[in-house]
Amino acid sequence: MSGANVFVRLNYDFDSTKFGEAANLSNATLTFLENNPVQLKTWQSNEIANGNFIRTDYYKNPTINVTNQLWSNINLFNQVINTIDDFDANANPKCFVIAPITNELAANQIYYFQRHTNNISGVSVSVPTFNETTGTNLDYPDYDKATGLGQELLLVLNETDELANAIPLLGNFTSLFLNDDIDEISISLGSDVQTVNNSIRVDVIANPNTDPGAPATISVILSNLTSEQINTIHTHANTANNLIMKSRENDWYFYRASVQILDDYRKIERLTRLGKTQTYLIENLIGTENYIEKLSANN
């Protein structure tokens, strides 16, 4: 007995004597409680009594630091690139290709990735969204859902495919194993910032504004980035975007495919779990020849 006072949370305020004998448990129930106690450690009982379970006291997102650093490097890159007024002719068109990717990373993809990894690491709980096209709720994996699902899926795949590893569970969690990849591409993008900085020069040019009183010349910030440098930066940005977007989407697909497989398993498994009345109905009224034939088969 832990001694934690969980009962007080019920705010019970009633004269229990009014229940009379109804409040007494049978000897069989008392014996059952004695022989089958709920397995709770003292700290677990205290948590229930306190009623203030905080997920971050127990779970952490192992990708949060590297993705924050990636976000920082991307934002720094965007700030530097946006200070440039113009590029040399050979690099200018390619620079316009990079901006949408880095903007998408900073504004959306890193945020979605962190939200997903918060869910599957146990820091938060996923919330389904309504799909207006199908009229159904679209579910997302989180730690509790994915671990329960993965354990059940392993039992099925061990029977159907003789699978004997943890992939049915870990397939929901691939995004948590990308720290080295994210760190590597983040370092590359940080180096790209320095590359852009080194390419910048300030030129004094004739002022295109010929209004009276306008200065004859103005200073502009130009960049002499080469096509090769731009291609390298584009590759880094595209790699980062695809890495965190596809890993998140792959986890979602694995989870939803797992749900569908288990749903199919339950439907198929019920086909042979028949009582006497069900067997009669199948064999004499509602069963197809295909179904009846399969029931009589030995494999």
Q: Which residues of the chain have pLDDT under 50?
A: none
pLDDT for position 266? 96
Taking the C-alpha atoms of residue 134 and residue 256, their distance in angstroms, rounded to an integer, is 15
Taking the C-alpha atoms of residue 86 and residue 73, their distance in angstroms, rounded to an integer, is 22
Segment 44-50 long-range contacts (CB within 8 Å, at least 24 positions apart): 44/2, 45/2, 45/3, 45/4, 45/6, 46/2, 46/4, 48/4, 48/6, 49/4, 49/5, 49/6, 49/8, 49/9
- Bridge partners (DSSP) listed for residue 230: none
The pTM (predicted TM-score) of the whole model is 0.88
Q: Which of 196, 173, 177 is nearest to 66 (CA)?
A: 177
pLDDT for position 1? 57
**Planar angle of CA 137, 140, 146, nearest 5 degrees:** 130
Q: Which of 34, 31, 58 is nearest to 44 (CA)?
A: 58
pLDDT for position 92? 63
Q: Parallel, antiparallel, or unpaired for β 129-131 and 136-138?
A: antiparallel
Q: What is the tens place of the pLDDT at every residue in 151-161?
A: 999 999 999 99
Maximum separation of any 2 CA atoms in the chain, in Å:
103
Taking the C-alpha atoms of residue 249 and residue 257, their distance in angstroms, rounded to an integer, is 12
pLDDT for position 185? 97
pLDDT for position 261? 97
Residue 228's SS3 state is helix
Residue 296: how many other CB atoms lie within 10 Å: 8
